[in-house]
Chains A and B, each alone.
Chain A
Amino acid sequence: MDEPVLEVVEVSKEFPGVRALDRVSFRLRPGEVHALVGENGAGKSTLIKVLTGVHRPDGGRLLRDGRPVVFGTPIQAQRAGISTIYQEVNLVPLMSIAQNVFLGREPRGPLGLISRSRMHAMAADLLAGYGVTEDVRRPLGSLGVGAQQMVALARAVSVDARVVIMDEPTSSLEPREVETLFEVIGRLHRQGIAILYVSHRLDELYRICDRVTVLRDGKLVHTGPLADLDRLALVSMMLGREIGDVRDHGVTGFGEDGHAAAETLLRAEDLVSRHRLAGVSVTVRAGEIVGLAGLLGSGRSETARAIFGALPLDSGAVVLAGKTVRTGSTSAAISAGMAMLAEDRKADGIIPNLSVRENIVLAALPRLSRYGLVSRAKQDKIVDIFVERLRIKISSPEQKVSELSGGNQQKVLLARWLCTRPTVMLLDEPTRGIDVGAKAEVRKLIDELAAEGMGVLLISSDMEELIEGADRLMVLRDGAIVGDLRGDQVTEGNVLAALAHHEGDADE
């Protein structure tokens, strides 16, 4: 057995309130392609940042070729032969392709000055092996994202790397570019360079990876040969669910559907957005809660954002209550009767320094005002109604929202949207980061809203929440619907099966 080129021993990292990594250990052997997988919050990014010197671990050790190393800065990790290509290309778009490849280690001629001609020749030479044939003097920003990613890879490998970490390298590549990437990976593999490959695309993992490490909630769940795990087992591990006796369940046929008769409120047809959505269709009926299930990066949030007009679409249509809604415009979506609770309520939702009252009435201001003046009495009335109805716990409507608990903040946001009297609500992770009691309350509220005839599109990483809450579940993978479960079919086994399998892949 080869000595590991990089070994992570019981590494822990804590952030305020979160244990991002909890005594994680794994080994990377020379020449292996090692998959690192896990859902949101599993600790993958933290682990990568520890390996690349961006974060210092609180505990544990890193061994490089058996010798302990400490990385305080990215340059130290790079000097130790660990290179990284990030999901978002981390290069300088305004500088030339060649400059980007050699930044910080430019070839120098007499007087210590950079030799441009040599740099250009070397860059062109190097990049030819990565399928990049553009003039290396052009600014990097003029290349497509895929080609930029290749430049990043060329840079990463050409610094004498022994370990290359790839964080979702294919998320913005075209199929042809993915092939080039895999060829390069094959070459690195033969040169004995170890690759830590982070991706959510199971197809890719099974195609190129030798071994896999699964993280969940900051803990190591599994590490071992990938061939020993089938897709279902892998997905179950990532999500932390039991496989049970659900193998190879067909996901066809129609279950009982209590809402079949109800009026269709929302119909999204064939939503396409480059690299994100590949033709997603969703319908939501009055009183129905439709859940979107899928792994990280499968296009759940993107679907909701596309319907709400927050994600530009290449094609597709959104129809609300029989009327076509202009896509790509949130204000069109709102005035048509949609409301969306965004995934990150801190960034996209609450305004912490405003009071509960101000936060609630924000979206309803146009309706409450006359001649540009807002009636305070009307505001107070509305706020009272919602505080009572949503059981928001506050000392007074003038309390700052930032002083509330996560659950109550979420309710304030919900109240804000309910002020606009939406017919369809899109809820992206409505219970994330709030305590158990508040979770139950928010779920109950969602049920109540649906019972009153509202259509709800629910996104959640919490499988239980989806299965218990949704009347119907659409399962997404790689930006496409791969399962449509109704009534009795909405079971954990069926969801896992839909996540793990794909057409023409009966052998697994």
Chain B
Amino acid sequence: MSTSTTPTGFHESTPVPGPGSREAAHRRLVAGLLQRQGAALVFLAVMAVAWIVFPGFGTTGNLRTLALQSSFLAVIALGMTLVIISGGIDLSVGSVYALGGVLAAYGSRWGFFGALLLPLAVCGLIGLVNGLLVARTAMAPFIATLATLLFARGLLLAITGEGATTYKIDNDQVFLEIGRGVLFGVGYPVYITLALFVAGGVLLRRTRFGQALFATGGSESSAVLMGLPVARTKIMVYVLSGLLAGFSGAMTAAYLQSGVTVIGVGTELDAIAAVVIGGTLLTGGAGTVIGTLFGVLLRNVIQNIINQIGTLDGNFQSVVSGAFLLVVVVVQRTLSRGRR
């Protein structure tokens, strides 16, 4: 047995490039900052400008409305953040959101718990179906959740007689408080949303489930080989997404005092946009809930500003969001290439 072996000449003649030039490192740093905090930075800049330019913007009333309006989308986008970090996508949330609202209104005839639990049960179940399809049958999340999008929207139309019946919530004041209650001048939904985001952040960063989520999205085959419960994690994340969308629907119903059937069309795309603008990688494996929160706020602030201008078509909001989304995706692309 030879003990005097030197490493083969192979290695010695191989040039060893340094760990990347300083310039590249600098570029990566800027890109990383833009990626993670881009939404927050742009949000603050836009806020500052709007505050100065539009007298109507900085008023307490306007800011309250802004915060309240952002809450409903933010809760949906929170679930979407988790799904996207896991490497998936959930297109069903817009329909599930609307369905949640109708079910809450429908269930309010059985009191507070009926109004709250009926949407959560059904929407959680839809999420479970999504999760099982994605995790157990290896169906593409895009397809699986597109199917449940149609399913949820169909169910909604069926129970409302194609939208002809609108269920009102008038006999349960406690449930209405969820959407209409006010504390220190700020609506309950804002507090609920903040609480959910804190919980979401803890879930992501401080629990094994959260870590498994990042690992699954970051490299699924590695996660499997490391012995992580990949399938269970995926199922859980779609259930959470369904629950959050359904809850947001219930909260909206409480706010509007009825189950409105026409909401939620295309909301899944708004949620995805907010998540991506918030710095979560669309390819999975990286992201933050706080980024998503700023993504949602940014979208609504731009909408609000366009309303302030008044003369501008409201559709310009989409134009601005779309442009910003493009920038973010390009930055993400550059960043992930820098990593390779």
Measured between beta carbons, the chain A residues less than 8 angstroms from B214 are 92, 94-95, 99
B215 and chain A: residue at smallest CB distance: A92
Q: Which of A92, A155, A480, A508 contacts B9, CB < 8 Å?
A: A480
Chain B interface (Cβ < 8 Å from any Cβ of A): 1-3, 5, 7-17, 19, 202, 205-208, 211-212, 214-215, 218-219, 221-229, 281, 285-286, 339
Do A278 and B215 touch (CB < 8 A)?
no
Do A174 and B11 touch (CB < 8 A)?
yes
Measured between beta carbons, the chain A residues less than 8 angstroms from B8 are 201, 203, 278, 477-478, 480, 502
Do A507 and B211 touch (CB < 8 A)?
no
Given the known interface contacts A95-B214, A104-B212, A141-B339, the answer about A278 and B13 at a Cβ–Cβ threshold of 8 Å is yes
Given the known interface contacts A92-B215, A206-B1, the answer about A103 and B9 at a Cβ–Cβ threshold of 8 Å is no
Q: Which of A186-229 contact B (CB under 8 A)?
A: 201, 203-204, 206-207, 226-227
Do B202 and A272 touch (CB < 8 A)?
no
Do A74 and B1 touch (CB < 8 A)?
no
Of the A-B pairs whose beta carbons lie under 8 Å apart in the complex, a sample of 18, sorted by A's number, is A74-B225, A75-B229, A91-B226, A92-B285, A94-B286, A94-B339, A95-B211, A95-B218, A103-B211, A113-B207, A116-B206, A175-B11, A178-B7, A206-B2, A207-B1, A272-B13, A278-B10, A315-B15
A40 to B17, CA, bound (A): 31
Do B15 and A274 touch (CB < 8 A)?
yes
Tell me if A46 counts as interface (CB < 8 A to partner B): no
A425 to B272, CA, bound (A): 50
Do B219 and A90 touch (CB < 8 A)?
yes
Do A91 and B13 touch (CB < 8 A)?
no
A144 and chain B: residue at smallest CB distance: B19
Given the known interface contacts A74-B227, A91-B222, A104-B227, the answer about A505 and B2 at a Cβ–Cβ threshold of 8 Å is yes
Do B218 and A78 touch (CB < 8 A)?
no
Do B12 and A175 touch (CB < 8 A)?
yes
A114 to B207, CA, bound (A): 6
A40 to B254, CA, bound (A): 65
**Extra 9 A-B pairs, beta carbons < 8 Å, given A203-B5, A275-B14, A502-B8:** A75-B229, A90-B226, A93-B218, A95-B218, A103-B228, A175-B12, A203-B7, A274-B14, A507-B2
Tell me if A448 counts as interface (CB < 8 A to partner B): no
A99 and chain B: residue at smallest CB distance: B211
Tell me if A314 counts as interface (CB < 8 A to partner B): yes
Give how many A-B residue pairs fall within 8 Å (CB-CB): 129
Distance between B267 CB and nearest chain A CB, rounded to angstroms: 28
Q: A63-79: contact bitstring with B at CB < 8 Å (1 yes, 0 no)? A: 00000000001110011
A94 to B86, CA, bound (A): 13
Do A103 and B3 touch (CB < 8 A)?
no
Q: Which of A84, A141, A478, A507 contacts B225, CB < 8 Å?
A: A84
Given the known interface contacts A113-B207, A201-B8, A227-B1, the answer about A92 and B19 at a Cβ–Cβ threshold of 8 Å is no
Measured between beta carbons, the chain B residues less than 8 angstroms from A103 are 211-212, 215, 223, 226, 228
Q: A251-288: contact bitstring with B at CB < 8 Å (1 yes, 0 no)? A: 00000000000000000000010110011000000000
Name the residue in A103, A144, A480 with the highest tally of chain B Cβ atoms < 10 Å from its Cβ.
A103
A93 to B336, CA, bound (A): 11
Distance between B220 CB and nearest chain A CB, rounded to angstroms: 9
Do A104 and B218 touch (CB < 8 A)?
no
Tell me if A407 counts as interface (CB < 8 A to partner B): no
Measured between beta carbons, the chain B residues less than 8 angstroms from A108 are 208
A344 to B142, CA, bound (A): 31
A231 and chain B: residue at smallest CB distance: B2
A175 to B12, CA, bound (A): 8
Distance between B276 CB and nearest chain A CB, rounded to angstroms: 16
Given the known interface contacts A90-B219, A103-B212, A480-B9, the answer about A314 and B206 at a Cβ–Cβ threshold of 8 Å is no
Tell me if A479 counts as interface (CB < 8 A to partner B): yes
Do A113 and B206 touch (CB < 8 A)?
yes
Measured between beta carbons, the chain A residues less than 8 angstroms from B228 are 75, 103-104
Do B222 and A479 touch (CB < 8 A)?
no
Do A106 and B7 touch (CB < 8 A)?
no
Tell me if A244 counts as interface (CB < 8 A to partner B): no
A207 to B6, CA, bound (A): 10
Tell me if A112 counts as interface (CB < 8 A to partner B): yes
Measured between beta carbons, the chain A residues less than 8 angstroms from B205 are 114, 116
Q: Which of A390-446 contact B (CB under 8 A)?
A: none
Distance between B288 CB and nearest chain A CB, rounded to angstroms: 12
Tell me if A86 counts as interface (CB < 8 A to partner B): yes
Distance between B178 CB and nearest chain A CB, rounded to angstroms: 26
Given the known interface contacts A175-B12, A279-B13, the answer about A104 and B208 at a Cβ–Cβ threshold of 8 Å is yes
Do B218 and A92 touch (CB < 8 A)?
yes
Distance between B10 CB and nearest chain A CB, rounded to angstroms: 4
Q: Which of B1, B15, B222 contacts A92, CB < 8 Å?
A: B222
Measured between beta carbons, the chain B residues less than 8 angstroms from A204 are 5
Do A90 and B2 touch (CB < 8 A)?
no
